[in-house]
Amino acid sequence: MNNPITHTFERLSAMLARDPRLTLDRLTPDAPLDGLGIDSLGMVDVMWNVEEEFRIKVPLKMPELRTVADVVRYIDRLVTEQGAPSPPSGAAAAAAPRTK
Amino acid sequence: MRRVAVTGIGVVSPLGHSAAEVFGNAQAGRSGIHRLDIPFAARLQAPLAATARFDEAAHFDASRLRLLDRFSQFALVAAKQAVDGSNGALADLDRGRAGVFVGNGMGGTMSMDAGYQTLYGEASDRIKPFTILMGMQSAAAAWVGIEHGLRGPNMTYSTACSSSAVAIGEAWLRVAGGQLEVALAGGAEAPLSNGSLKAWEVLHTLASIDADDPSASCRPFSKDRTGMVLGEGAAMLVIEPWERALARGATIQGEILGYGQSNDASHITRPSVQGQVAAMHAALRSAAIAPQSVDAINAHGTGTPANDSTETAAIKAVFGERAHRIPISATKALHGHLLGAAGALECVLSLLAMRHEVALPTMHLRTPDPDCDLDYVANAARAGVAARTMLSNSFAFGGTNAVLVLRAAH
């Protein structure tokens, strides 16, 4: 069985890596978001995609997220709180082979 | 007041994507109007448009496109062309004294339309996250300011079909008045969303399709005219003080000599002779020239029954008997009506016409109209017209009229 953190991390990484500037080798758990070029506006875009990928609703007010791991933990919290199913979407399934 | 030179021109339009290409097609009378080939065309009575045939991916990567409505894309590409062609207008410049002035009628209507399609058409809440940033009317000017690091006034003017004539005029006032050293000024419009096309259709101002030749559907000043055709694109100018342009050895494309405005204050759509006359008089006053100094006119010339007869009467009222001897070009027959970008594109065409000593044709003028009996340069360009001074007329819904006075560089 997958470690849930790792599984979320892999799905998030696969999603982020659709942006050609975000290669998978840069997407480590401790990578700071601003170092990846994801500013507050970029986070809006990321969370819009996260909502679809993880079938969750991101609240209007988001906590401060500094690293990729922060985002992973936040997603897991929302998934747990919202009791959302977690079938990988088509996008994540297609991207899955790219994970290390 | 300082003299103001145009030292850069950028265009994205149904007639091409550079000043040279646009002028060549206009001179040859090649129309950019065509039958619309989109699924939604089946729901339009007259599926016509003048599209810019613009490959967004050739100019922007995917991450930028997520933030840019089509009208902002047009503005950025046109502004870059203008700056690149200006031979260094932005070098050695206090960027706080450089401004952006963009006219636009409908904002990011493509993005808004896509959002409504998601919300209402698909009953989904997954509206795209940057819809507000793409749809806001000031987006084009804002992006041009960011792209070129211009920290002076960043202005968006929305006065319907006169928006970009107003933008150029207001920029001219700031540069002529000494407040700014450089301005990027013009207009951008991308109005060809499904909702916009339908909304224009039900207003009964759009042309019927010419069954034999859809590209000839817009026929300004012709008795058989049936209306306007929507077009998309952008035109941007670099303007700066004449002396600065000379000092840095720039190629001067022409001079902005004056700008006048008026408001009909009478009807939301029906044009007024009095209002148009007032705008032309105001423009001549601001340029400190007499009507006799005007050698040619780029008409508003939309091809609607109401505009063309009203504009003809207004030109007669300003120029008297001499009106019959002034070449008048209505280039919307070729590039369609770019709404908030129309005045800027027609300003560009006027500058190029003077530079090449050509009067551009009013195409598809088949049937004389007794109410439109001036010299419209019908159906073929006229060479050897050494116009030194031109008016470019823009008359808008809402009654907001704007007229630019332009002078040849030579």
User: Could you read off the pLDDT of A36-89 as tens digits, one per residue?
Assistant: 999 999 999 999 999 999 999 999 999 999 999 999 999 999 999 998 665 554
Rounded to a whole number of angstroms, the distance from the CA of B63 to the nearest CA of chain A is 7
Compute the average pLDDT of residues A11-27. 93
Task: DSSP letter for B94, please.
Answer: -
Give the position of tokens 């339908």: B198
Rg (chain A; Cα; Å)? 12
Active site residue B410: no
- Residue A84: the pLDDT is 67
Q: How many residues does chain B have?
A: 410
How many interface pairs between A and B have CB atoms less than 8 angstroms apart? Answer: 17
B63 touches chain A (CB under 8 A): yes
Give the HSE-up count for residue B369: Cα atoms under 13 Å, Cβ half-sphere.
23
Confidence of residue A3 (pLDDT cuts 50, 70, 90): low
Q: For A44, which of B61, B63, B129 is closest by C-beta distance?
A: B129
Q: Give the tokens for residue B172.
A: 């001219």
Residues of B in contact with A91 (CB under 8 A): none
Catalytic site residue from B337, B347, B364, B372: B337
Residue in chain B closest to A37 (alpha carbons) equals B63
Residue B299's identity, in one-letter code, is A
Of the partner residues B63, B129, B130, the one whose CB lies closest to the CB of residue A19: B63
Chain A residues in contact with B130 (beta carbon < 8 A): 41, 44-45
Q: Any idea what the Cα angle at residue B213 is, between residues B396 and B209, rounded to 5°?
A: 50
Residue A4 has pLDDT above 80, yes or no: no
Using 50 as the pLDDT threshold, list the residues of chain B that sit under it: none
* Tens digits of residue pLDDT in B164-202: 999 999 999 999 999 999 999 999 999 999 999 999 999
- What are B68's two structure tokens? 């840019």
What is the distance between the alpha carbons of residues B359 and A89, in angstroms, rounded to a whole number? 60
> B-chain residues within 8 Å CB-CB of A51?
126
Q: Are B116 and B122 in contact (CB under 8 A)?
A: no
Asked if A20 and B129 come within 8 Å (Cβ–Cβ), the reply is: no
Neighbours of B301 (CB within 10 A): 29
Query: What DSSP character marks residue B118?
Result: I
Query: What is chain B's mean pLDDT, rounded?
Result: 97
* Complex ipTM value: 0.79
Q: How far is B375 from B330, CA to CA, in rounded Å?
A: 11
Catalytic residue status for B324: no
B100: which strand partners? B154, B184
Residue of B nearest to A46 (CA): B129
Q: Do B62 and A20 touch (CB under 8 A)?
A: yes
Answer yes or no: B337 catalytic: yes
Residue among B61, B126, B129 minimizing CB distance to A45:
B129
CA distance B170 to B325: 30
Tokens 């599209």, located at residue: B51
User: B247 burial class (0-12, 13-18, 19+ CB within 10 angstroms)?
Assistant: exposed
Full-prediction pTM beyond 0.80? yes
Cα(B327)–Cα(B299) distance, integer angstroms: 10
Q: What share of chain B is helix, strand, coil (3-state, %, to 5)?
A: 40, 20, 40
Question: What is the pLDDT, as a whole number, of residue A6?
Answer: 77
The rounded distance, in Å, linking the Cα atoms of B7 and B13 is: 20
Q: With 60 as the cut, is the pLDDT of residue A7 above it? A: yes
Site from A19, A54, A57 to mutate, B interface, most B CB atoms within 10 angstroms: A19
Contacts A44 to B, Cβ<8 Å:
129-130
Interchain proximity A48–B63, CB inside 8 Å: no
Q: What pairs with residue B359 in β-bridges? A: B382
CB contact residues (below 8 A), chain A span 19-58, against chain B: 19-21, 41, 44-45, 47-48, 51-52
The residue among B252, B229, B248 whose CA lies nearest residue B239 is B252
Question: Residue B129 is nearest to which of A20, A21, A48, comparing CB atoms?
Answer: A48
